[in-house]
């Protein structure tokens, strides 16, 4: 799939100040076709305007950002979601990504990086910020290895491969996809494949450990 040169974007965030900040930062590089400040208005606006990418705040007054993703994923699969937030508890971020968001970036991201991330998501790729990579490594590391009394549900989905782990570590260390490709002597396309595969595992794994990990995070 090729990325449209000027992706159409809807911004969903309950802070008006932040929305206008993002809008001006994105400049003319994307086409902002709408803004919404809560779950319900966002759902109807997105269903009506069908943007390429939705910039979705993890925290919304009428429920988490994952409610927007859950409500729309089946109806309009061509709309892609990129989660962003300022104050992110790991379990909330993981919940939005598991609901179907294509990636997660922090609100401190620079304008050019954000445009880059939007393009990437519009093209169907996954976007992992260093922080999300850290969360995912943490979540999957918390899962115990398969054993006799605790077999894996699905070894293909429930564990990261060594390569995927390497890629995530490099993202967490602040490497760009290009730098990762050079470091591991693979192509950028392969890096993207690995990241998408991690995203798929994160979304499809039915392991209780992911939920339990979130619950434990909440307790500490």
Partner 1 sequence: MAAGLAYRTGFEVTFVRLAIVVATLFTGGFAAVAYVVAWLVMPAIGTDTTIWSQARTDRRGITLAGGLASVLFFLTFITQLLGSGLLATVEWPLILCPAFLVLIWRNAPASEQARMRHLAEPLLGLTTDNRWSRAWPRVTFSFVLLIAGTVILVDGHKSIKMLAPLGGAMLVLAAVALLLGPWWLGIARDLVEERRARIRAEERADMAARVHDSVLQTLAMIQRRADQPQQVVQLARAQERELRSWLFDGRAPGSLDGEDMTFAGGVRRIQQEVEAQHGVAVEAVTVGDCELTEDLGALLAAAREATVNAVKWSGADVVSLFAEVEPEAVSLYVRDRGRGFDPSAVPGDRKGLAESIHARMARRGGSATVRSAPGEGTEVSLTMPRSGERQPSRA
| Nearest-angstrom CA–CA distance, 46 and 187 | 35
Please state the closest distance from residue 50 (CB atom) to partner 1, in A: 34
What is the footprint of partner 1 within residues 89-128 (CB under 8 A)? 89, 108
Residue in 21, 62, 63, 130 binding partner 1, rule: CB under 8 A = 130
219 touches 154 (CB < 8 A): no
Cβ proximity to partner 1: between 4 and 134 the closer is 134
Please state the closest distance from residue 34 (CB atom) to partner 1, in A: 28
Letter string b/e over residues 184-216, b meaning 16 or more CB atoms within 10 A of that residue's CB: bebeeebbbbbbebbbebbeebebebbeebbee
179 touches 108 (CB < 8 A): no
Question: Under rule CB under 8 A, how many of the chain's residues touch partner 1?
Answer: 19
Please state the closest distance from residue 22 (CB atom) to partner 1, in A: 16
CA dihedral 48→84→32→46, nearest 10 degrees, is: 0
Q: Nearest CA to 40 among 80, 68, 70? A: 68
Give the count of beta carbons closer than 10 Å to the beta carbon of residue 109: 17
Cβ proximity to partner 1: between 109 and 123 the closer is 109
Cβ proximity to partner 1: between 68 and 143 the closer is 143
Q: Is residue 173 a contact point for partner 1 (CB under 8 A)? A: yes
Q: Is residue 137 a contact point for partner 1 (CB under 8 A)? A: yes
Q: Nearest CA to 39 among 63, 72, 17? A: 63
Q: Is residue 50 a contact point for partner 1 (CB under 8 A)? A: no
Q: Is residue 172 a contact point for partner 1 (CB under 8 A)? A: yes
The strand pair at 63-64 and 59-60 is best described as antiparallel
Residue in 47, 50, 75, 86 binding partner 1, rule: CB under 8 A = 86
Please state the closest distance from residue 188 (CB atom) to partner 1, in A: 17
Cβ proximity to partner 1: between 49 and 182 the closer is 182
Q: Is residue 208 a contact point for partner 1 (CB under 8 A)? A: no
Q: Is residue 169 a contact point for partner 1 (CB under 8 A)? A: yes
Q: Nearest CA to 199 among 65, 52, 97, 70? A: 97
Q: Is residue 187 a contact point for partner 1 (CB under 8 A)? A: no
Binding site for partner 1 (CB under 8 A): 86-87, 89, 108, 130-131, 133-134, 137-138, 141-142, 169, 172-175, 216, 220
């Amino acid at each position: 799939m090729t990325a449209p040169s000027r992706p159409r974007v809807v911004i969903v965030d309950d802070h008006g100040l932040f929305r206008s900040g993002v809008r001006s930062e994105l400049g003319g590089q994307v086409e902002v076709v709408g803004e919404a400040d809560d779950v319900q208005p966002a759902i109807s606006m997105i269903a009506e305007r069908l943007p390429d990418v939705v910039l979705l705040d993890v925290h919304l007054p009428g429920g988490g950002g994952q409610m927007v993703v859950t409500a729309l994923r089946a109806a309009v699969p061509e709309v892609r979601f990129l989660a962003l937030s300022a104050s992110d508890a790991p379990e909330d971020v993981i919940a939005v990504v598991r609901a179907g968001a294509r990636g997660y970036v922090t609100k401190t991201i620079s304008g050019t990086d954000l445009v880059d991330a939007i393009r990437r998501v519009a093209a169907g790729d996954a976007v992992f910020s260093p922080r999300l990579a850290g969360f995912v490594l943490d979540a999957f590391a918390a899962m115990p290895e398969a054993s006799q009394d605790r077999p894996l549900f699905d070894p293909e989905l429930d564990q990261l491969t060594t390569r995927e782990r390497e890629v995530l570590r490099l993202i967490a260390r602040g490497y760009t996809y290009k730098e990762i490709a050079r470091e591991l002597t693979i192509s950028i396309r392969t890096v993207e494949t690995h990241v998408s595969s991690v995203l798929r595992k994160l979304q499809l794994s039915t392991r209780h450990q992911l939920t339990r990990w979130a619950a434990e995070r909440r307790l500490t």
